[in-house]
Amino acid sequence: MGQEGFLTISSGEVYDAAPMGVKVAVVGGGSTYTPELVEGFVTREDRLPVDELVLLDPDAERLAIVGGLAERMLRRVGWSGSLVLTGDRHRALEGANFVIVQLRVGGQAARFQDETIPLRFGCIGQETTGPGGFAKALRTVPVVLELAEETAERGAPNAWFVDFTNPTGLVTQALLDRGHRAIGLCNVAIGFQRRFAGVFGVEPERVQLEHVGLNHLTWERKVLVDGVDRLPEILEGSLDEVSEETDLPGDLIASLGAIPSYYLHYYYLTAHVLQQQREGRTRAEEVMEIEAGLLELYRDPTLDTKPKLLEERGGAFYSDAAAALVASLHAGTGDVQVVNVRNDGAIPDLADDAVVEVSARVDADGAHPIAVDPLAPEMAGLVQHAKAYERLTIDAAVTGDRGVALKALMANPLVGDYDVARPLLDALLEANVEHLPRFFGG
């Protein structure tokens, strides 16, 4: 693609400049999320001087569209590094200091199956929880582990592997169980932080959360503004707004004395949500339409900023969460962020090696979880249940053992019943046969 003034743009096949400084590789660089990342990086050049940004994606057309917008965004701010667009995984990972993974095995078509097959068996259809999340985990874990292994071989010494691919907590558990230098990331917590900062009229950096649980299974037990817990004020004065945002009854939230994430409504209101899903459109269909609209916008040669529509894709604050994490790991600033990391005693109710989603202090050595009080029984029971399911699912994904997979599905808090789990497992495996060679003798 040649030289474009101060900004070097290249395909992976012809680029031969020697990389210097910080190299960031984005696996799934053709994702519509990528402009979020680009925005986050260019606003943190003081802490994260990225010299080479590589977008890796097997879909050449999509990569060209997204990469074109990335180029224009970078040119607009005067960035002087090298942007590489490639389908060559070896080229992308070679010498990378940070590898950010935001892939989707099977694309939105697989997501549609995750959201519809479970409904036939009376179960919630969702891409990260329940049997849909289980199917996604089976597809995703082997692919991400392979990428991490290659990063360990080809990446820069002490390279960081940052996972944004769902189900994030489960995938990060698989990575850390195998000794990879990895951290998981989700944008739920930063969304809450920004929301509460707006409520109190302060900068987001002044708000720190006691965010506890597992990825997509978390509660906000404290909202510290300049070190003072303001959660009681939120529960007293803004309960209706919190109820609407989390899709949960206000009296339930009040009784918990904590703010659940939106994903808890799958567990607390299962029958209600199941009925809604049977009568409505899938999120996969909505996202397909949003992505089509985004890609059409991205084609516009005059567009050089992140479009507003991206927030509807679910990418709100992703740039801040991902870029802030990478910047802190590089600069060793020691600020507090919410990440998926080994528990190491932070939550007393879980084993040290369990991956949890909590506030952690991030420096050049990694993310160090901040200890919290034990979980209330209603939280602890659900978290321990889900963690058992995660461990079984990882085992099934790696081995292709149908017996373990059945136990995993039965351990899933949103399945449980053997007479449901057995035919449901058969249906999920059959629908994903091309992505699950381990289960079919491949």
Catalytic residues: 263
Q: Going by DSSP bridges, is the β-strand pair 160-163/98-101 parallel, antiparallel, or unpaired? A: parallel
Contact 77, 3 (CB under 8 A): no
